[in-house]
Structure 1
Amino acid sequence: MRKILVGISGASGVNLGVKLANEVAKTNECHVVVSKNAKLVLEKEQKLNLSIKNAKIYDDSDISASLASGSFGIDSSIIAPCSINTLAKIHAGFSDTLLTRAAAVALKERRKLIIGVREMPFSTIALEQMAKLSSLGVVIAPPILGYYADIKNLEDMENFIIGKWLDALGIENQIYKRWGEE
């Protein structure tokens, strides 16, 4: 069983990160870090409390947690949604929270790191930061739709995005219609 980190930062679409973590936890050892701002956004956008099953949830302020060490052995990490603030911190090498420390660990250990940057339009600064991180092997995977997926409602749209993130993590899934599928 693979160890997967799902980080959720304070960008619009926090519910996507929660749904992603629940999907990851079905077949993997799932570790979740939810930033303080992500909790605020979840409350404002969805009027929901955090609900993730079968995963270990960490306090973002606990930089001494096991995730802060490369020896813990996280196989792959995804931050989704990834706020512009979190992107900037990762780019600059700031490790002032558990989430940004875990991203720094993924980079130093040369492990898969995926960031679902959630912003529109992207500033030139953010694009430069994403380009630099991409050159270091980070997968930049913003929540963008594919219209071939026969999307009929919000759940279909969310499943497409989450399915693409699961694909990037190497987790098999059938939660969205793929290109050429009937």
Structure 2
Amino acid sequence: MRLTVAISGASGVNLAIKFIKLIPKDIELFVVFSKSSKKALKLENNIKIKDIFKDFSNISIFKDKSIGASIASGSFKVDKMIILPCSSNTLAKCASGIADTLITRAFSVMLKEKREIIIAPRELPLNTIMLENMLKLSNLGVTIAPPILGYYSSQQSLEDMENFIIGKWFDLLKIDNNLYKRWK
């Protein structure tokens, strides 16, 4: 499987990093960080991107301004895409068809090619415009999957909560996992 992981500038970029680290190594990843996501990562976690993925062989990392990258073309086959976290700005651009960055261009390509897309909005509370944008994208076949907890899996720690959310995203992407306790 080939998977694009786009990371926009909402709070919770560290959840995207953990998501990537838990992806099986047989999945080819194409990762794009927005400029704002890099700032959020530095402010929230004091981490720089270059320090995160140095030991990964299945990852290609692109700059968001690299609009000519492979994932910006429909002829370059990527199976699935997740925008995690998805800022309200990126959500609005996707819903409006604005493709002025690699993240939004790759999204537009995936949409036109009718490939699987998941968006994980990370804002609270949601305003009417955001809800309308999510509805519009849902009607176009995009899966809207914000990081929301399900308490039936008896999470006891922040790590348990994160694993539950990531496990649910893996489920949507059809990636086998045992990251959380399933309902019996």
TM-score by length of 2: 0.95
Aligned to 2:94: 90
Deviation at 1:31, TM superposition (A): 0.8
Ranges of 4+ aligned residues in structure 1 off by more than 3 Å: none
- Counterparts of 1:1-182 in structure 2, within 5 Å, are 2-50=1-49, 51-52=52-53, 53-54=56-57, 55-180=59-184
| Partner Cα separation in structure 1 for residue 122 and residue 94 of structure 2 | 15
Deviation at 1:25, TM superposition (A): 4.9
What whole-Å deviation, never above 9, does each CA across 1:110-161 have from its counterpart, x for those lacking one?
0000000001111001000100100000000000001011111111111111
Name the aligned partner's letter for residue 80 of structure 1.
Answer: L
| Partner Cα separation in structure 2 for residue 8 and residue 23 of structure 1 | 16
**How many residue pairs align between the two structures?**
179
**Percent identity of paired positions between Structure 1 and Structure 2:** 55
Gaps in structure 1 of 5+ consecutive residues = none
- Output the aligned Cα RMSD: 0.9
Secondary structure at 1:32 match in 2 = strand
Secondary structure at 2:149 match in 1 = coil
| Partner Cα separation in structure 2 for residue 49 and residue 156 of structure 1 | 25
| Partner Cα separation in structure 1 for residue 160 and residue 37 of structure 2 | 23
TM-score by length of 1: 0.96
Gaps in structure 2 of 5+ consecutive residues = none
